[in-house]
């Protein structure tokens, strides 16, 4: 008798439907975290999809085979129509996950979202220590407000995940973060070492931990998982600058997740726009199913046909799918190269040296995540 196996990718070889839809409802956010995964060119409010278009996207997603809806941003609670979008998800049987900073919620509003069928709440925290958390998010009073929202979440009988991005300026607080998750009664804690795209790449020197810090964090999490078995599920995302094998980014390009940006662009990964030369379709122009199956951006790095050496003949090619295309592009200049996190990449040593050198110097000041003050030029 075997235990339920976790579903990684829908099928080993064929093109299954996506399991998850990441809906970036808006890029507006009151927080200014310097590791935000949104692009440096934040999308503007006047380009955002209407309520009707989002509701239609959900219908298309459910028909395509999506099971889970991740409502993200930016800060999704900025959208006044969030309750309508959640109600639509519930009516379609989509499992809805609200990924929020929390700071804009009232108890009444959260209660309304729960009544509309919201399945799960994920609240980001910046540190276990309130003053450092508020400094990192550049938002006074944010941390205590998040804790209040977390308590409402539990009081409303909604499942709670805390999500803590980890970097050199909060890594020492890892034990405090675990204690915080326990004291709030969270069912899950995501401890995710920052991944370096978008704003995090811009702030990499100020965020990169040392190898020793990374190893200590991994050892601490291993110990905490054992100690808290059956009490708190801890998901741990390791930083790949110190890794030997790359992560199977997104479970493989165009395999499991479909992302829709605030303006309706459809991406294989939320950072995909950092890769030059890719053209993204928009839900305003083409059906979601067609975009998933045939659009140029999804086809570009799907499967293994695009691979060069060392990926093409690698025994791990259908396990890690060559790692992350965005990181390959950012570091090697071509998204078709191996992810430099892989020790088979010719640039792996240089990649590791960047992490060593940057983590070895005192942290520079953050460039906080803000919309560009000038008119944006594309």
* Cβ atoms of 112 and 80 closer than 8 Å: no
How many angstroms separate the Cα of 250 from the Cα of each of 99, 259, 301, 302? Answer: 17, 11, 12, 11
Q: Nearest approach, Cβ of 93 to another protein (angstroms)?
A: 7
Tokens of 320: 């890690």
Q: Indicate which single residue of 47, 175, 185, 277 sits in contact with another protein (rule: CB under 8 A).
A: 185
Q: Does 222 bind another protein (CB under 8 A)?
A: no
Query: Could you say which residues in the range 286-345 bind another protein, by CB under 8 A?
Result: none
- Cα–Cα distance for residue pair 222/318, rounded to 1 Å: 27
- Cα–Cα distance for residue pair 261/28, rounded to 1 Å: 12
DSSP one-letter code for 365: P
Q: Indicate which single residue of 15, 90, 233, 354 sits in contact with another protein (rule: CB under 8 A).
A: 233
Q: Nearest approach, Cβ of 20 to another protein (angstroms)?
A: 8
- Cα–Cα distance for residue pair 368/191, rounded to 1 Å: 21
* Cβ atoms of 122 and 79 closer than 8 Å: no
Q: Which is nearer to another protein, 233 or 354 (CB)?
A: 233
- Cα–Cα distance for residue pair 24/82, rounded to 1 Å: 12
Q: Nearest approach, Cβ of 229 to another protein (angstroms)?
A: 6
DSSP one-letter code for 323: S
Q: Which is nearer to another protein, 42 or 181 (CB)?
A: 181
* Cβ atoms of 266 and 364 closer than 8 Å: no
Q: Does 12 bind another protein (CB under 8 A)?
A: no
Q: Nearest approach, Cβ of 311 to another protein (angstroms)?
A: 27
Q: Which is nearer to another protein, 2 or 13 (CB)?
A: 2
Q: Does 129 bind another protein (CB under 8 A)?
A: no
Q: Indicate which single residue of 183, 215, 353, 364 sits in contact with another protein (rule: CB under 8 A).
A: 183
Q: Which residues are at the interface with another protein (CB under 8 A)?
A: 1-7, 10, 16-17, 19, 64-65, 67-68, 93, 95, 97, 119-120, 122, 157-159, 161, 182-183, 185, 187-188, 190, 227-233, 235
């Amino acid at each position: 008798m075997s235990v339920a196996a976790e579903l990684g990718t829908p099928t080993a070889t064929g093109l299954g439907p996506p399991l998850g839809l990441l809906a970036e409802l808006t890029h507006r956010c009151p927080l200014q975290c310097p590791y935000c995964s949104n692009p440096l060119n934040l999308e503007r409010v006047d380009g955002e999809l209407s309520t009707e278009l989002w509701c239609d996207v959900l219908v298309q997603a459910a028909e395509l085979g999506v099971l889970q809806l991740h409502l993200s941003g930016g800060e999704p609670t900025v959208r006044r129509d969030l309750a309508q979008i959640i109600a639509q998800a519930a009516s379609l049987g989509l499992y809805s996950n609200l990924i929020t900073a929390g700071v804009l919620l009232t108890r009444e509003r959260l209660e309304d979202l729960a009544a509309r069928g919201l399945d799960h709440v994920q609240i980001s925290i910046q540190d276990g220590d309130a003053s450092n958390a508020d400094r990192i998010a550049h938002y006074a009073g944010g941390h205590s407000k998040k804790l209040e929202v977390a308590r409402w979440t539990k009081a409303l009988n909604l499942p709670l995940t805390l999500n803590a991005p980890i970097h050199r300026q909060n890594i020492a607080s890892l034990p405090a973060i675990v204690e915080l998750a326990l004291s709030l009664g969270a069912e899950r804690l995501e401890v995710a070492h920052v991944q370096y795209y978008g704003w995090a790449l811009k702030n990499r020197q100020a965020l990169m931990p040392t190898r020793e810090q990374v190893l200590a964090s991994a050892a601490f999490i291993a110990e905490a998982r054992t100690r808290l078995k059956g009490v708190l599920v801890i998901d741990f995302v390791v930083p790949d600058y110190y890794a030997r094998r790359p992560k199977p980014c997104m479970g493989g390009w165009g395999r499991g997740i479909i992302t829709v940006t605030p303006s309706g662009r459809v991406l294989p990964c939320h950072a995909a726009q950092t890769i030059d030369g890719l053209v993204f379709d928009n839900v305003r122009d083409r059906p979601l199913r067609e975009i998933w199956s045939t659009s140029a951006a999804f086809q570009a790095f799907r499967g293994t046909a695009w691979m060069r050496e060392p990926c093409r003949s690698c025994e791990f090619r259908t396990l890690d799918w060559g790692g992350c295309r965005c990181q390959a592009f950012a570091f090697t200049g071509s998204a078709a190269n191996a992810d430099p996190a892989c020790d088979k990449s010719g640039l792996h040593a240089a990649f590791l040296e960047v992490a060593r050198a940057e983590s070895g110097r005192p942290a520079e000041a953050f460039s906080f995540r803000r919309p560009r003050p000038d008119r944006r030029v594309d």
